[in-house]
């Protein structure tokens, strides 16, 4: 067992108690949840993807339409990391909490499907998924795995088997609207929950960053576990600025086993 300071230990115990009291807990996860799995986040100084590239130049819908090869050149290393990533202990802990009926749903900003790989069932993907690709010409949708495996290995841009158009990963680029159904379900769950856990998100990307406020406005408790502060730390019942892959399993252990 990892030793914690008295303050961290007390915060973990309180977070676990909030979960035990909760009837409808919702989780919001961001890129920081997957960094322990080897997938870089976007905004960390020096290591984040946007510290190296200008997002509107490489990851916007406009740039994809005008220069798709530039997008795929940027995307290839990330696709390789996502393709080979495994769920970490935080993903598995959340899956265990869901199976035990302690988590109603997981709203995620991540596209890596690691929640599903860990066994979570009710996952709302706000920024799309790497599981499928869609043709930019005829809109044919294809399973991503065989195309991504070839793309990661050779760098060959995936093309549609129906019309030879370029296949775009079904992830939300800058300039694209969030999936309407996912946004509706996320707002519904935020407004109905009595507890929200924010894990691995800096809460800087709107509109998803506003979901915890919707929960708070309706009387929900709030737990934040993230390496850096968020704008809502001052409103949180518990705010722990430590490694999610350590803290989330510790909370789950106390919820499930006392």
Known catalytic residues are 127
SS (H, E, C) 141-162: EEECHHHHHHHHHHCCCCECCC
Residue 127 tokens read as 């920024």
> Can you tell me the distance from the alpha carbon of 250 to that of 170, in angstroms, rounded to the nearest whole number?
34
Residue 204 tokens read as 């800087």
Cα→Cα distances 101→20, 37, 51, 178, 206, Å: 10, 25, 39, 28, 29
Give the chain's mean pLDDT: 92
Q: What is the pLDDT of residue 48?
A: 46
43 — pLDDT class (breaks 50, 70, 90): low
Q: Is the dihedral of CA 49, 50, 54, 59 positive or negative?
A: positive
CATH number at residue 147: 3.30.1600.10
Q: How far apart are the first and last CA of the chain?
A: 14
**Averaged pLDDT, 119-131:** 95
Q: Which of 171, 205, 238 is the last residue of a domain?
A: 171
Q: Is the pLDDT of residue 247 over 50?
A: yes
User: Which range has the worst mean pLDDT, 55-69, 125-139, 172-186, 230-244?
Assistant: 55-69
216 and 253 in a single domain? The answer is yes
248 and 236 in a single domain? The answer is yes
211 and 257 in a single domain? The answer is yes
Q: Which of 117, 138, 171 is the last residue of a domain?
A: 171
Strands 195-199, 221-225: pairing kind = parallel
Between 36 and 63, the higher pLDDT residue: 36
49 — pLDDT class (breaks 50, 70, 90): low
Q: What is the pLDDT of residue 205?
A: 87
> Can you tell me the distance from the alpha carbon of 139 to that of 220, in angstroms, rounded to the nearest whole number?
41
> Can you tell me the distance from the alpha carbon of 206 to that of 208, in angstroms, rounded to the nearest whole number?
5
Q: Is the pLDDT of residue 45 over 60?
A: no
Give the other-Cβ count within 10 Å of 169's Cβ.
25
80 and 91 in a single domain? The answer is no
Q: What is the pLDDT of residue 248?
A: 98
194 and 213 in a single domain? The answer is yes
29 and 53 in a single domain? The answer is no
Q: What is the pLDDT of residue 74?
A: 87
Domains contained in the chain, number: 2
46 and 103 in a single domain? The answer is no
Q: Report, in this order, helix, strand and coil percent for the chain, each rounded to 5.
A: 45, 15, 35
Find all residues with CB under 8 Å of 156, minimum gap 6, and list them. Answer: 150
**Averaged pLDDT, 26-34:** 96
182 and 74 in a single domain? The answer is no
4 and 115 in a single domain? The answer is yes
The enclosing H or E element of 132 equals strand 128-135
Between 151 and 18, the higher pLDDT residue: 18
Q: Is the pLDDT of residue 50 over 80?
A: no
255 and 229 in a single domain? The answer is yes
> Can you tell me the distance from the alpha carbon of 24 to that of 41, in angstroms, rounded to the nearest whole number?
29
Residue 188 tokens read as 């519904």
Q: Please, which residues bridge with residue 134 across strands?
A: 141, 168
Q: Is the pLDDT of residue 134 over 90?
A: yes
* Number of continuous H segments (helices) and E segments (strands) in the chain: 10, 9
135 — pLDDT class (breaks 50, 70, 90): very high
For 54, the domain range is: 42-84+129-171
117 and 211 in a single domain? The answer is yes
56 — pLDDT class (breaks 50, 70, 90): low
pTM: 0.90
Q: Which of 139, 171, 203 is the last residue of a domain?
A: 171
219 — pLDDT class (breaks 50, 70, 90): very high
Q: Is the pLDDT of residue 256 over 70?
A: yes
**Averaged pLDDT, 38-50:** 60
154 and 73 in a single domain? The answer is yes
**Averaged pLDDT, 75-88:** 90
* Contact status, residue 196 vs residue 221, Cβ threshold 8 Å: yes
CATH number at residue 123: 3.40.50.1220
Q: Is the pLDDT of residue 147 over 50?
A: yes
């Amino acid at each position: 067992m990892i030793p914690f300071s008295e303050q961290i230990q007390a915060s973990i115990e309180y977070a676990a108690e909030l979960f035990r009291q909760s009837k409808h807990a919702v989780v919001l996860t961001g890129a920081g949840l997957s960094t322990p799995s080897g997938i870089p986040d976007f905004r960390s100084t020096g290591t984040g993807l946007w510290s190296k590239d200008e997002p509107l130049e490489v990851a916007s819908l406009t740039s994809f339409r005008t220069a798709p090869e530039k997008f795929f050149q940027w995307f290839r290393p990330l696709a390789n990391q996502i393709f080979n990533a495994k769920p970490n202990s935080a993903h598995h802990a959340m899956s265990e909490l869901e199976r035990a009926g302690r988590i109603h749903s997981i709203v995620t900003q991540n596209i890596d499907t690691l929640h599903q790989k860990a066994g979570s069932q009710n996952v709302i993907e706000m920024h799309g998924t790497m599981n499928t690709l869609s043709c930019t010409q005829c809109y044919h949708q294809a399973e991503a795995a065989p195309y991504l495996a070839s793309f990661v290995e050779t760098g060959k841009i995936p093309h549609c088997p129906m019309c030879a158009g370029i296949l775009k990963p079904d992830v939300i680029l800058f300039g694209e609207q969030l999936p309407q159904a996912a946004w509706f379900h996320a707002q519904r769950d935020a407004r109905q929950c009595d507890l929200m856990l924010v894990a691995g998100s800096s809460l800087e990307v709107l509109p998803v960053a506003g979901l915890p406020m919707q929960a708070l406005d309706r009387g929900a408790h709030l737990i934040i576990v993230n390496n850096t502060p968020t704008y809502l730390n001052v409103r949180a019942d518990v705010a722990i600025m430590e490694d999610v892959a350590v803290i989330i399993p510790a909370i789950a252990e106390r919820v499930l086993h006392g």
